[in-house]
Structure 1
Amino acid sequence: MGLHRWWQVKLVTLSLFLSCLVGGSQSYFYDRESLDDFLRKQANKETERLRKGVLSNVYLPSNFTGMEVSVVRLRSFSLWSRGMNYSSFNLPPRIVLQPNAKRIAILFENLGNWSSNYYNVPNHTMVASVFGVMAYSSSETAFVDEKINFTTHGDPIRIRFPHVDQHGENDTPICAKFRAGGLVKFKNMTKPYVCEVYSQGHYTLVVPSFPSPKEPNTRSHSKRFTKWWVLGFVIGFAGLVILVLILLALVKEAKKRRIRKMEKNSEGGELFDTFWIGESKLPSASMLRTQPTLEN
C-alpha cells in the first residue's frame, strides 16, 4: 500500500471515529455520507484498469473486512436498452438517469457486518445486511464527483437477500429503504426475501422488535405479579400488627377485671392498715387489741 493510500485509510478511520463521538444522539454510529464518499474514491481507483461492462471487485482496507463492493462502467444507453444482472441485483431495462450522462459507473454494495454501524430502523430489527446500489457519472478514465439518481419506468429493480437471520414464525420480514435524514420507507415483499424498488439507494429486511399480539408480554406480566405480591405483603403485615394490638388490649383488659374483682372481694372482710416495704404494699394489723375483762 502506498503512502498516499495509507494516509487516506487513516483519515477515513479517524473521521468515522469522530462521527461516532459527535453523532451519539443520531440513530446510527458512523456517518453514511463519509462512507459513500470513501467507497466512491476506492472504486475510482479501479476504473483505471476496468473494461466497459466488466464488473470488478473494489479493494477495501483490512479494517473494513466483511464489507463487499463491486463497480462496473458502462454507457447509459446500454443500461437503458438491456439492463443488468449482478449477483443479488437485477436492474431492468428503461432506467432513466437524472441528470443524464453518456457514461456511468454503478456501485453494488453489501455492508455485511457493518450494516448496523451505519443504519438502524426504530422499533425494528434488521434481519439482513444493508444492500446498496449507487450510480455516478463517469468519464473515459475515472469518476467525477456528481452522483446520479436513476429510476425505472417499467419493471422494478429486484434486490434478493441471500442471507437472512432467523426471526419469529409469525413475523414476516418487510423491505426498508433508507432515506436522507434518517427516514425509512417500508414495503412488503412480493417474493420471499426479495425487495422490488424503483430507485437507487440502500435497502434491507426488517421485522418488528416488539412482541406480536399473540405472544404474551412476559415482562409486563412479571411487573404486575410483583406489584400484587408487594401489595399483598403490606396488607398482610398491617393485618398482623392490628391483630397483635387487639390481643394485647384484651389481655390488659382481662388483667384489670381480675384486679377489680379481687378489690371487691376484699371490701367484705376486715380492713387492715398497710405499710410499704420498698415498692411492695403489705397489710398491717393494729397494735390495739380488745382489753380483757374480769368475770364476776
Structure 2
Amino acid sequence: MDSFSIIIIILFTLLLSFHHSDSQTVQSTRLLDLMIRDYTIRNFKLNLNTGTIQKIHLPSNFSGIDIDTVKLRCGSLRRYGSRIGEFHIGAGVTVEPCPERVMLVRQNLGSNWSSIYSTGYNLTGYNYQLASPVLGLLAYNANPDGVATNPYEVNVVGTDQNPILIDFLKITANDNPKPTKMNSSVLCACFPSNGSTTFSDQVSPYVCKGTRQGHYALVVTTEARGKDDDSSGGGMVTPSTEVDGGSGGGKLSRWKVAVGSVIGSGIGAILLGLLVVAMLVKGKKKAEREEMERRAYEEEALQVSMVGHVRAPTASGTRTLPVMPDDRYKNTHLNHHR
C-alpha cells in the first residue's frame, strides 16, 4: 500500500469521524448551509418568474430537509418585504449589499438534522432542548438572467419595528389543538454564525421575531419539559417527538459524541502510524533499488566474478592468442627449408 492510498484512507476516516462527532459543531452547520446552497443553485429553474417559489429536492443523504427558494428584486425586497414558508420579511428591511437580484433559501432541517444545532450550540449547557425543527433563512446574490456562478451571502437586516417573523405554528401543532395562549416555558432561540446562542420570548403563540437572516427554533427548558408532558394545555409537540427521541436525549448525545471522538482519534492515530511505516518502507526500497542500479553499472564497466565467497574483477579474453617462443622458432625453421 503506497503513501497516497493511506492518505486517502486517513481523509475518509476523518470524514467519518466528523460525521459522528464533529458534525455536531458550528463549523458543520456552516458546511451544511454551503452544500444546500450549491445544490439549490445547480437545480434552480431559470425560466421561473421573479417571485415564484420553487421546491428543491435534495439527494437521499439529506433526507428530512425541506428546501424552498425564490428569486426577488433587491429593491422590491427592501420596499415590500417577502414571505417564504414560515418566514415573513417585513417591509423596510436593509439588504447589504444589494445586488439587482436576491435569492432567498428557506430551510426546514426536520428532526433528522436539527440535532446538529442542539449539540453544536450546546443547548443542554443552557438546560434547553429543541421543541421544534430548526428553520433557516439565507440570502444570496443572483444574476438578472439567472443565478450567480460565484454566490455570496447577502445580509437581510430588520429592526424591532420591521422584523423578520418566524411562524412555527404549522410545524409544531400537527394534530394538536390550536394554542390559544402563550406558553411561558417555550422560548425562541437564534443560532448565529459566531457560535453563540440568543434566547427571546415569543411575540405571539409559537411566533418568533428576528432581526436578520439565520437559523431559528423553539426551545423549552428541561425542567419545564417534564411538566408540559403531563399537562394538556398549550398544544405543543413534545421535544422528544421532534428531536431527542426520549428523555435523557442530551446526555445520550454527549455520550455518542465522546465515544465517536475517541474512536475517530484512535483510528486516525493508527492510520497515521501506518502512513509513517509505509513512508519508511518506501524509502528503504528506494535506497535498495538505487544501490542495485549502482552495482549493475559498475559490473557492466568491469566484469566481476565469484572466487569462492569473494567477488573479484576479471578481464575479458583477448582476440589474438599469444604465441610461445618455441612455436615461433619451429615455424621459422620450416619456412626456411621450404
Same fold (TM over 0.5): yes
Corresponding residue of 2:147: 142
Q: CA–CA distance in 2 between the matches of 1:170 and 1:91? A: 24
Q: Which of 114, 117, 126 is residue 116 of structure 1 equivalent to?
A: 114
Identity of paired residues, percent? Answer: 28
Q: Deviations over 1:186-245 (max 9, x none)?
A: 000010000011110000000111369999xxxxxxxxxxxxxxxxxxxxxxxxxxxxxx
Question: Residue deviations 1:29-56, cap 9 Å, x none?
Answer: x811111111111110214343211110
**Equivalent residue for 1:39?**
36
Q: TM-score, normalised by structure 1?
A: 0.60
Distance 1:81 1:114, change over 3 A: same
Q: Given that residues 137 and 213 in structure 2 are in contact (C-alpha distance below 8 angstroms), is that contact kept between their aligned partners in structure 1?
A: yes
Q: Write the mapping of 1:202-241 to structure 2, written as runs, cut at 5 A.
A: 202-210=215-223
Q: Decide which structure has greater strand share.
A: 1
Q: Are 1:98 and 1:148, in contact at CA under 8 Å, matched by a contact in 2?
A: yes
Are 1:50 and 2:48 matched, yes or no? Answer: yes
Give the one of 149, 152, 163 matched to 1:156: 163
Q: The residue matched to 1:114 in structure 2 has which SS?
A: helix
Q: Is the 8 A contact 1:171 1:208 kept in 2?
A: no
Distance in 2, Cα, partners of 1:117 & 1:211: 19
Structure 1 segment 8-47 matched on structure 2, within 5 A: 17-21=16-20, 23=22, 31-45=28-42, 46-47=44-45
In the alignment, what sits opposite 1:179? 192
Alpha-carbon RMSD across the aligned residues, in angstroms, is 3.0
Secondary structure of 2:152's match? strand
Cα distance, 1:77 vs. partner?
0.7
Which of the residues 51, 65, 68 maps onto 1:67?
65
Whether the aligned pair in 2 keeps the contact of 1:104 and 1:138 (CA below 8 Å) is yes
Q: Which structure would you say has the larger RCO, counting Cα contacts within 8 Å and 6 or more residues apart?
A: 2
> Does the residue aligned with 1:48 lie in a helix, a strand or coil?
coil
In the alignment, is the contact (CA less than 8 A) between 1:16 and 1:31 conserved in 2?
no
SS of 1:142 mapped into structure 2: coil
CA pair 62-14 structure 1, distance change in 2 beyond 3 A: farther
Specify every segment of 5 or more residues in structure 2 that has no aligned partner in the other structure, as ranges: 1-11, 177-181, 229-338
Matched residues in 2 for 1:50 and 1:66: separation?
Answer: 25
User: Does structure 1 residue 78 correspond to structure 2 residue 85?
Assistant: no
* Distance in structure 1 (CA, Å) of the matches to 2:75 and 2:224: 49
Tell me the residue number matched to 1:235: none
8 Å Cα contact 2:164/2:210 also seen in 1: yes
Alignment of 1:249-268 (within 5 A): none
Task: Please give the alpha-carbon distance, in whole angstroms, between the structure 2 residues aligned to 1:16 and 1:90.
Answer: 37
Which residue pairs with 2:130 in the alignment?
126
Corresponding residue of 2:274: none
Tell me the SS of whatever aligns to 1:73.
strand
Say if 1:22 and 1:66 are closer, same or farther in 2 by CA, change over 3 A.
Answer: closer
* 1:185 shift after superposition: 0.2
Higher helix share: 2
Does the aligned pair in 1 maintain the 2:30–2:193 contact within 8 Å? no
Range with greater deviation from structure 2 (79-88 or 187-196): 79-88
Note if contact 2:191-2:214 (Cα within 8 Å) is conserved in structure 1. yes
Post-superposition offset of 1:15: 8.7
Whether 1:195 aligns to 2:208 is: yes
Q: What amino acid sits opposite 1:136 in the alignment?
A: Y
Q: Quote the Cα distance in structure 2 between the aligned partners of 1:50 and 1:14.
A: 42
* TM value normalised by structure 2: 0.53
Rate the CA distance shift 1:213–1:40 in 2: closer, same or farther, 3 A.
Answer: closer
Between structure 1 and structure 2, the one with the greater Rg is 1
Pair 103,20 (structure 1): closer, same or farther in 2 beyond 3 Å: same
- In structure 2, the CA distance between the partners of 1:191 and 1:136, relative to structure 1 (3 Å rule), is same
Give the residue type in structure 2 aligned to 1:19: F
